[in-house]
């Protein structure tokens, strides 16, 4: 029988044996996680400036930044806590894992009829000058969510070209990022671009007409019993006014500061809601249809859906089932949802190249 925890911090724990794990092998997995700490500096700004390889003034941090904590994580099976390591209550930046929360805000808007057609041009609902001819008017909601929009422009002082030619698969510095590239037709080319993701967040704010953190809290985080410690930030210059109310447009990552600041425990509740296909203890908070769409491979990048990472062909993480999907952010921050094993795992501040091996060790511990 599926278990759903009450309001944080109440959460039932179970033994590895009762959850179908070999306790010795599971301990090896959690020890491996602790021993695989990221190479990011505790001073996050230092690592951001180095790894993003941007020149002034485009590298300016314009949102809040928090010094990082240590590696930590949590494993759920059937909704119960099977293992924890590190400080899972600590609120940390989560970088691009924020994008998956943005996807859920889009899903809520679609479920409620605020965005009836994901294949319709964004300009039909958002008339703020950001989706005008001769190029941006072709962009649809699906293009924004799949990061295939090729949106062109400057938003909150950051030009879209600063993230052109960005390659999130490489380990070293982004030497090609920010170099010249001819734009393609919207919907035909995948590119991981934080300016365009922030443009998607602003478009959703226009549609909801209320801050996205309010939307997320009311419709998702409070109903799943999340803590009151998480925060979702934008930039000091990302405020707009709607119907006389000043609101901040949030960012989809921590590239220039901001994004979601959240604990591993709250991440785990979010992941468990997705594992249960949007249903929390009998109440459908997010439609099954949205989760299906969000985890459908993009034609331009089969490893990507609607701001979720996918394991199509088991190319992203060869050691886990193809049905697995992830929220992932630099650092590394991972929410792994594995329907085949009724499993949710959250990893924080783990070396990127160790993620698949960590997943493999966890699965090796299952009986």
All domains of the chain in start order, with CATH: 100-250 (3.40.710.10)
Q: Which residue reads 């085949």 in tokens?
A: 340
**Six-digit token string for 51:** 């790894």
**Six-digit token string for 157:** 């002082």
CB 307 within 8 A of CB 349: no
- Position 52 scores a pLDDT of 84
Query: Which three-class secondary structure string do you get for 326-357?
Result: EEEECCCEEEEEEHHHCEEEEEECECHHHHHH
CB 201 within 8 A of CB 89: no
Integer Cα distance of 146 and 318 in angstroms:
22
Q: Which residue reads 């609607």 in tokens?
A: 306
| pLDDT block averages, 10 residues each, the chain of length 367 | 94 97 98 96 90 89 97 98 98 98 98 98 98 97 98 97 86 76 96 97 98 98 98 98 97 96 98 98 98 98 98 97 97 96 97 96 96
- Position 170 scores a pLDDT of 63
- Position 178 scores a pLDDT of 83
CB 345 within 8 A of CB 76: yes
- Give which of 6, 25, 1, 2 is closest to 83, Cα–Cα: 25
Using the 8-state DSSP alphabet, how is residue 136 labeled?
Answer: G
- Position 328 scores a pLDDT of 97
Integer Cα distance of 146 and 136 in angstroms:
15
Using the 8-state DSSP alphabet, how is residue 163 labeled?
Answer: G
Q: Hey, what's the torsion of the CAs at 39, 348, 89, 339, to 10 degrees?
A: -170
Angle ∠(27,2,312) on CA atoms, nearest 5: 70
- Position 172 scores a pLDDT of 64
Counts for the chain of helices (H) and strands (E), in that order: 9, 14
- Taken in order 309, 315, 318, 321, the sign of the CA dihedral is positive
- Position 51 scores a pLDDT of 82
- Position 53 scores a pLDDT of 78
Provide the residue count of the chain: 367
**Six-digit token string for 246:** 């000043």
Integer Cα distance of 274 and 288 in angstroms:
9
Q: DSSP for 190-214?
A: ----HHHHHHHHHHHHHHH-S-HHH
- Give which of 269, 328, 270, 278 is closest to 303, Cα–Cα: 328
Reduced to 3 states (helix: H, G, I; strand: E, B; else coil), residue 4 is coil
């Amino acid at each position: 029988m599926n278990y759903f925890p009450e309001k944080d911090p109440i959460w039932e724990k179970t033994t590895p044996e009762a959850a179908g794990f070999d306790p010795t092998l599971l301990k090896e997995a959690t020890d491996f996680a602790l021993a695989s700490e990221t190479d990011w500096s505790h001073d996050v700004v230092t690592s951001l400036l180095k790894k993003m390889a941007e020149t002034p003034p485009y590298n300016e941090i314009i949102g809040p930044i928090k010094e990082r904590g240590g590696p930590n994580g949590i494993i759920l099976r059937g909704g119960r806590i099977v293992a924890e390591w590190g400080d899972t209550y600590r609120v940390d930046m989560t970088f691009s894992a924020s994008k998956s929360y943005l996807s859920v805000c889009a899903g809520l808007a679609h479920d409620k009829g605020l965005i009836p057609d994901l294949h319709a041009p964004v300009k039909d609902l958002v008339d703020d000058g950001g989706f005008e001819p001769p190029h941006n008017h072709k962009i649809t909601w699906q293009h924004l969510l799949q990061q295939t929009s090729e949106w062109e422009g400057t938003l909150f002082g950051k030009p879209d070209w600063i993230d052109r030619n960005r390659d999130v698969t490489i380990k070293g510095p982004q030497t090609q990022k920010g170099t010249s590239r001819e734009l393609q037709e919207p919907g035909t080319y995948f590119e991981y671009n934080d300016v365009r993701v922030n443009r998607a967040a602003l478009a959703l704010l226009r549609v909801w007409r209320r801050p996205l953190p309010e939307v997320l809290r009311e419709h998702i985080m409070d109903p799943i019993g999340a803590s009151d410690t998480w925060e979702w930030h934008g930039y000091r210059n990302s405020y707009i006014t709607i119907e006389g109310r000043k609101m901040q447009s949030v960012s989809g990552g921590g590239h220039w500061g901001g994004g979601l600041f959240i604990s591993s425990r709250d991440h785990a509740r979010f992941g468990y809601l997705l594992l249960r296909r949007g249903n929390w203890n009998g109440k459908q908070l997010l439609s099954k249809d949205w989760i299906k769409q969000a985890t459908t491979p993009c034609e331009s990048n089969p490893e990507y859906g609607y701001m979720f990472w996918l394991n199509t062909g088991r190319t992203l993480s060869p050691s886990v089932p193809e049905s697995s999907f992830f929220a992932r952010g630099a650092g590394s921050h991972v929410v792994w949802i594995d329907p085949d094993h009724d499993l949710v795992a959250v990893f924080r501040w783990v070396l990127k190249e160790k993620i698949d091996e960590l997943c493999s060790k966890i699965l090796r511990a299952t009986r």
